């Protein structure tokens, strides 16, 4: 990695007790590199951190998803009971309601996706995203 002459000069200086300063240079460069990495990590973490509004919205979405789960379970039981009673038309109506609730639940779960989706939602709210892109996500 180093020229042989540089290596010999370094070893000779070390043998004579002289410090050529290579370790100090290395430590300084390493420290700069570590500081830069830490700055990048901190910047990335700030981008990932949720705002209080996002936390409130996430909690509300989780509650809605739980409500949809209960509604879907109840609806499926009702479909089963109606089917057993021979009320096929009402069972089909209830099943349609269950499918609608499932679709709404799926839409709410998409809102809980990672930061890229949240960033897209922010862009939509700010009017930055285009309609074509917005339709593609739906």
The pTM score is 0.48
Q: Rounded to whole angstroms, how far apart are CA atoms 91 and 81?
A: 8
Q: Rounded to whole angstroms, how far apart are CA atoms 38 and 32?
A: 10
pLDDT over 90 percentage in the chain: 37
Give residue 128's pLDDT. Answer: 46
Residue extents of the structural domains in the chain = 4-47, 50-137
Confidence band (pLDDT; 50, 70, 90) for 132? very low
pLDDT tens-digit map of 49-83: 777 888 888 888 888 888 999 999 999 999 999 99
Long-range pairs for 48-55: beta carbons < 8 A, 24 or more residues apart: 48/115, 54/118
Lowest mean pLDDT among 97-101, 105-109, 129-133: 129-133
Confidence band (pLDDT; 50, 70, 90) for 85? very high
- Summary mean pLDDT of the chain: 80
């Amino acid at each position: 990695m180093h020229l042989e002459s540089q290596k010999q000069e370094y070893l000779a200086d070390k043998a004579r007790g002289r410090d050529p300063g290579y370790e100090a240079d290395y430590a300084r460069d390493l420290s700069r590199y570590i500081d830069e990495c830490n700055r990048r990590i901190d910047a990335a973490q700030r981008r990932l951190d949720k705002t209080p509004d996002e936390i409130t919205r996430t909690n509300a979405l989780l509650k809605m998803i739980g409500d949809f789960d209960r509604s879907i379970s109840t609806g499926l039981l009702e479909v089963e009971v109606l089917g057993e009673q021979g009320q096929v038309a009402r069972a089909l109506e209830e099943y349609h309601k269950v499918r609608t609730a499932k679709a709404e639940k799926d839409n709410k779960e998409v809102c809980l996706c990672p930061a890229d989706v949240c960033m897209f939602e922010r862009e939509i709210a700010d009017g930055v995203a285009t309609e074509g892109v917005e339709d593609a996500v739906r």
